[in-house]
Structure 1
Amino acid sequence: MATLVARLSASLCLVSLVLASVPNPRTIDSDLTVLTHNDLYGNSSHRQASAIVVSKRQSHSAAASSCAALGESLWSNEQHLQELGFLEYLRYDSKTQSQDHYWVAGTAHTKCSAITARGRTQQLPCDTPLPALCQNSAALSSLESTDTSSKWQTAVTTGNATVIGYRDKHSFRFQGIQYATIPSRFSHSVYLPPAGSNISALSYGPQCIQGSCSSGTASCSEDCLYLNIWTPVLPSGKSSKTTKKAVLVWIHGGGFVSGSGSDTTFDGGAMASRGDVVLVTINYRLGNLGFLALEGTSLTGNYGLKDQNTALEWLRAHIGAFGGDKDRITVFGQSAGAASVRALLASPEARDKFAGAITQSTPQGLNYVSTFSKYLTITEATNRTKSLLDETGCASNNSATVLTCLQAVDPLNLTTGTVASYPVVDNKFLTTSSLPLGPTAPKLNIPLLSGIMHDDGSPFTSYPSTANITAVLLSQNLPSFIANSPLFPLPSAPNTTESIFNLTSRVATDAMFRCLAQSTAATAAKNSVFKNTYAYEFDRAFQLLSYSPNPPACEAPRTPEHPFGDPSLPYYKCHSGELYYVFGTLVREGARIRDDDDIRFSQYVLDSWTSFARTGSPTPDPRLLEARGFTNTSALVRAAGTWAPVEERGNGKELRVLNIGARSEGWREVEQCEALGFGLDYYDV
């Protein structure tokens, strides 16, 4: 027994030593901020300077000790003489230290070196209480190399828990934090507060069970409710002057049957550092495990949506410890993620938990995409999925027997065959058949940013196998009247196959994305549903390396002058073609930059999205852009002018067209949408 006690005591001492060696803003007694320029060029950037701001006012020697506690030394501005402009943000971001100095390396007798936000060095008495700049020698994480060793680890205290993450050149990173438990399969998730003195957040948690998982795959689990946080600042929790950052919460797409918050496309380091926001990605249950509803049983669906709601509860309770402002949370998502955001806006349980919303390429309108925004009743859902009971051998007249049987089925067997993939009206989380937008809709005092890709529907059609246009339309479940409609003429192309594909792509985009996206924005503005509504359409795209449907339709044509593609030539701007731009991950994901505008456009898009999160407007503050040295975005914003919200009566400039030369114009394909039955007034009921 004595031996056991001794071992336990030794183990506890070891844990204490480990925790003591991991720097924590509370133990350092100071807010910590990673400050860098981040032009999205990654390691090929000419601006490599990165510093950690220690905000506590202290003597030069104490500041050096704080840097040492981080495993760093005081910042040496001599190494970065050509890059000092990035310090200007210290003046913009501080209300109380606009003319302050910061300790840096260098001493001489009784004087020590300090630097201003304008990059001017001055010798001051070494006992002067000043904030400090420490070196940040951590490498930029990448797909090929991520260093989570103890040298770079940083701890955060929230409640009674200590969460250990790490930093790289651009941000503090916390990956794989469990936010909820699932008491049993087909039960609603339960908020799980962090507990324990040594919670590791150094790697992603498992993704939720989906079709791509295989038996024994460690990265897949039913116990999958994890989130990831990237932040530029960690507060000490002791200063009321700490400025909390706006928070962006990403909900991934994947048709409600696939995807995860650990997809590196959505790495949040660029948005956090360049956009000065806290970025969060989450997992939520998918397919039958997340959305199965069966009438006459206790299965009411919407489990995945409730997971998202639970994640918001966790963030409202704990994001402050990671530098985020719980009252400035913007939820955003693409495809099924956008449909999730729409459902959260529709839910009386969820809509008060966030302060802004961005919906990218919400599927809505024709065919199967209708269920993403027009919710089925449980009876309708049951009619679509009841064959699952025969497939699993769980058919029974006893609802308890059905539940017990389904809970015992191998989870991978629930990802094939009949799969539920849609929200339902459960009369609790969702009480209406769609997001109310008409005259009697609840007024949501938050801004909305919403839009599509120019050819969003292109991946949902295919190259024809016949020249019979009517037959092609029918085979792809598109309205056959289009074959003889002057509103949809067959475009000219080198061959009939390309012409018909161009036509079906246009129709699919209108009927499954564009028309009802425009109706959503126009109706919301008309009825003042949101504080402001902003609408966009991307006319430039960079298709994901992992998803290029109907190749090479969604890729810019390659030429001798542009071996990786010439974006100035015609190509389809397809579904998911904005994601690298929004997250600033072109270089990180290994994409080959096609021309000088790819990175410039990504800078502009990322700066617009994060501006919306910070201020409710997608037009970045010119003073902020100047302070950050974001000259490319400054030039594009000046050329494009202010991105105005959609007006109640419309002014012919409702839509922001996003390209390297952004502009505003009227709604697109208005007559075509009317002919399809999805006119601007579709949601005005």
Structure 2
Amino acid sequence: MKMLLVLVLFAVGLNSGSAAKLGVVQTEGGRVEGKSHRMGLMRSVDVFKGIPFADVPGKWEKPKPHPGWSGVLKATTYRERCLQVTLLQTKTQGSEDCLYLNIFVPQGRKLSTNLPVMVYLFGGAFLLGASNDVAILGDSLYDGKEMADRGGVIIVTVNYRVGTLGFLSTGDTRMPGNYGLWDQHFAISWVRRNIHSFGGNPDNITIFGQSAGAASVSYQMVSPYSSGLFRRAITQCGVSLSPWALQKNPMALTKKIARKVGCSRTNEDDMLACLKISDPVGLTMAGKIDSHLRGRLFCPGVVMDLLELSPVVDGDFIPDHPSKLFQNTAQFDYMAGVNSMDGHIFAGVDVPSINRLKANTTTEDVRGLLAGLTKEKGTAAISSAYGVYSAHWGSAPDPSVVKKTVADMETDFLFLVPTQIALQLHANNTSGARTYSYLFNMKTRIPGFPSWVGAEHAEDLQYLFGKPFATPLVYFPRHRDLSGYMIAYWTNFARTGDPNTGDSRVPAPWPAFTKYHRPYLTINHKISKSSVSYDLRSTYVDYWTTTYSTLPSVKTQDLD
């Protein structure tokens, strides 16, 4: 009897000590109700899935406010992704009714108030992806519960239009493009207006993203429309200066899409009128990566050329080349970095021999890749770049050294160098805001890759979103260490603008990147004071930013 009484009292105590819940929340469009997920003793996360931040968008139109709803919206299931091709590009998935966001709010014994807010923009080459992409053992890769709970921040993940419907452009006012960027802007603006009702601080919003999502964050930073909208930004493996992140000849691509859907016309306005009434599914399929190019496996440097749909200089949201707009970033604290092998997956497509144990990668392969990457500068660039990248080989280089060099070339060109330029431009322009640089180099967990492969593109995300805690059976303690470190640095930065200072302890101090000093933190499971180094790959950064950039450009044929 006594034991039963103890158990009852314990149960009552547990119940009365459970975490607070938001319940029904009033937003500008109407009331919403999410679901509370228990995370530990007196800790939970309120999750709201599928809240509309805009109305169903018109084709190639800016987003418009949602008309609202009556009653209580049950925000308990993710909404469809924006219409896009599938990963194998054989069909489409998603809907035009897709402008929804998801909110993860950590709770303790009392309702949370004034929390920092982190808005995540997904990657996917501006072609595919969603706010709830890639389920890992049940939960989306971008599920924000662990990060919210462990970092004491509100996480918001948002959908935006991708592919043809998100980024097709004529390069002028008829179809200016950047619809996906406008969607992101609209979502961030909605968060600023409404997050107070969820316990967030509208004056402390950080936007962060990976790959095309990181380039999107970078575009939001440089846009004049973002002044005062958020406070900090984090780009992971991509910036607006990445060579794949800007359409150079939008009208030529629009004409190519028009041909594919039967809208080819001599008169451009007739062509556009035809496109406007074309089936969205057909238009989306027309924007897929060209299979006849993919079948060539691969003309060197072609991977980059295949990523055609991306933002444009539209004279409005992006009024000039992004490199000329960094004065607009001076107000934001900025953290940026890359993964040590960001380019490996792309290099393996361009030069397949690098991943074959018994195949050698020849000097012709290396020169061929450089020819593809540097074609806008002509043959002079091939020799000069080859000289820089082969300088450490010696007379009889180990085959694995040559293969790793190929991956390094593509990492530098597509990700690392543009990120270093963006960091420098931010540090040069800032007045009071801080800048931080990192290199993520946790060894790959992908089986079958050669031993020299470091951190693959997108491998940082599983740690940042706390998967080693959410699904502990498929990770080791070292992975949980790394996950804890990343969540601490990222959420401290969101809270204070300094990754070292906040509610979470960090393993080592991370010095700021400045106009004249360029420290960076190497991020893996063994972070210590010796993880701080200076001038990341400066030989190669200097080559691309000075020697290469001063070489004369050659005339190239238009797409059309």
Measured against the shorter chain, the TM-score band is: 0.7 to 0.9
1:416–1:475 Cα change, 3 Å = farther
Q: 1:469: which partner in 2?
A: 363
SS of the residue 1:513 aligns to: helix
**Equivalent of residue 311 in structure 1, options 174, 187, 211:** 187
1:311–1:486 Cα change, 3 Å = closer
Farther-moved stretch of structure 1 (458-467 vs 198-207): 458-467
Deviations 1:384-414 (A, max 9, x none): 3321111111123555543442233332322
Aligned pairs (5 A) from 1:110-189 = 133-135=16-18, 154-159=23-28, 161-170=30-39, 171-189=45-63
1:609–1:660 Cα change, 3 Å = same
Q: Structure 1 residue 247 and structure 2 residue 150: aligned?
A: no
Distance (Å, rounded) in 2 between the aligned partners of 1:478 and 1:183: 37
Q: CA deviation at 1:163?
A: 0.5
Does the aligned pair in 2 maintain the 1:164–1:198 contact within 8 Å? yes
1:320–1:135 Cα change, 3 Å = same
Equivalent AA in structure 2 for residue 191 of structure 1: P
Q: CA deviation at 1:523?
A: 3.2
What are structure 2's unaligned runs of at least 5 residues? 1-6, 40-44, 134-139, 289-307, 354-358, 375-381, 551-560
1:215–1:357 Cα change, 3 Å = closer
**Equivalent of residue 552 in structure 1, options 448, 451, 468:** 448
Aligned pairs (5 A) from 1:447-458 = 447-458=333-344
Q: How many residues align?
A: 494
Deviations 1:112-165 (A, max 9, x none): xxxxxxxxxxxxxxxxxxxx953369xxxxxxxxxxxxxx99322234722121
Q: CA deviation at 1:417?
A: 4.0
RMSD: 3.5
Q: 2:379: which partner in 1?
A: none
Does the aligned pair in 2 maintain the 1:76–1:135 contact within 8 Å? no
Distance (Å, rounded) in 2 between the aligned partners of 1:382 and 1:612: 40
Distance (Å, rounded) in 1 between the aligned partners of 2:224 and 2:278: 33
**Equivalent of residue 86 in structure 2, options 212, 221, 224:** 212
Aligned pairs (5 A) from 1:579-658 = 579-588=461-470, 592-593=474-475, 595-621=476-502, 624-625=503-504, 634=505, 637=507, 640=508, 642-650=509-517, 654-658=519-523
Q: 2:292: which partner in 1?
A: none
Q: CA deviation at 1:552?
A: 2.6
SS of the residue 2:459 aligns to: coil
**Equivalent of residue 309 in structure 2, options 405, 410, 421:** 421
1:458–1:262 Cα change, 3 Å = same
Q: 2:332: which partner in 1?
A: 446
Q: Structure 1 residue 352 and structure 2 residue 228: aligned?
A: yes
Q: CA deviation at 1:307?
A: 0.3
Deviations 1:424-474 (A, max 9, x none): 111111111114467xx2463221011111121111101327643133431
Q: 1:22: which partner in 2?
A: none
SS of the residue 1:340 aligns to: helix
1:429–1:528 Cα change, 3 Å = same
Equivalent AA in structure 2 for residue 612 of structure 1: F
Distance (Å, rounded) in 1 between the aligned partners of 2:416 and 2:29: 48
Distance (Å, rounded) in 2 between the aligned partners of 1:527 and 1:448: 12
1:442–1:229 Cα change, 3 Å = closer
Equivalent AA in structure 1 for residue 434 of structure 2: N
Q: 2:271: which partner in 1?
A: 402
Distance (Å, rounded) in 2 between the aligned partners of 1:156 and 1:587: 29
1:303–1:296 Cα change, 3 Å = closer
Deviations 1:596-654 (A, max 9, x none): 21101100111110111111111144xx34xxxxxxxx4x52xx2x222112321xx61
Deviations 1:221-277 (A, max 9, x none): 01111100000149999xxxx731110000000010011001211100011111111
Equivalent AA in structure 1 for residue 499 of structure 2: P
Q: 2:162: which partner in 1?
A: 286
Q: CA deviation at 1:421?
A: 1.7
Q: 1:561: which partner in 2?
A: none
Distance (Å, rounded) in 1 between the aligned partners of 2:373 and 2:161: 31
Deviations 1:271-298 (A, max 9, x none): 1111111100000000110011115672
Q: Structure 1 residue 261 and structure 2 residue 165: aligned?
A: no
SS of the residue 2:104 aligns to: strand
1:382–1:340 Cα change, 3 Å = same
Q: Relative contact order (C-alpha < 8 Å, sep 6+): which is higher? A: 2
Give aligned-pair identity as a percent: 29
Does the aligned pair in 1 maintain the 2:30–2:68 contact within 8 Å? yes
What are structure 1's unaligned runs of at least 5 residues? 1-74, 80-103, 107-131, 138-151, 558-569, 626-633
Q: 2:148: which partner in 1?
A: 272
SS of the residue 1:232 aligns to: strand
Does the aligned pair in 1 maintain the 2:204–2:494 contact within 8 Å? yes
Equivalent AA in structure 2 for residue 578 of structure 1: D
Equivalent AA in structure 2 for residue 660 of structure 1: H
Does the aligned pair in 2 maintain the 1:455–1:573 contact within 8 Å? yes
Which protein has the larger Cα radius of gyration, Structure 1 or Structure 2?
1
Aligned pairs (5 A) from 1:187-202 = 187-192=61-66, 194-202=68-76
**Equivalent of residue 330 in structure 1, options 200, 203, 206:** 206
Distance (Å, rounded) in 1 between the aligned partners of 2:270 and 2:62: 19
Distance (Å, rounded) in 2 between the aligned partners of 1:376 and 1:537: 27
Q: 2:301: which partner in 1?
A: none
**Equivalent of residue 430 in structure 1, options 297, 301, 318:** 318
Does the aligned pair in 2 maintain the 1:443–1:530 contact within 8 Å? no
TM-score, length of structure 1 as denominator length:
0.66
**Equivalent of residue 391 in structure 1, options 250, 260, 263:** 260
Distance (Å, rounded) in 2 between the aligned partners of 1:493 and 1:415: 49
Deviations 1:344-397 (A, max 9, x none): 0111112421111000011576xxx5141xx446xx211233211111111235
Q: 1:489: which partner in 2?
A: 392
Distance (Å, rounded) in 1 between the aligned partners of 2:92 and 2:256: 30
Q: CA deviation at 1:185?
A: 0.8
Distance (Å, rounded) in 1 between the aligned partners of 2:46 and 2:98: 23
Distance (Å, rounded) in 2 between the aligned partners of 1:520 and 1:293: 25
Equivalent AA in structure 1 for residue 190 of structure 2: W
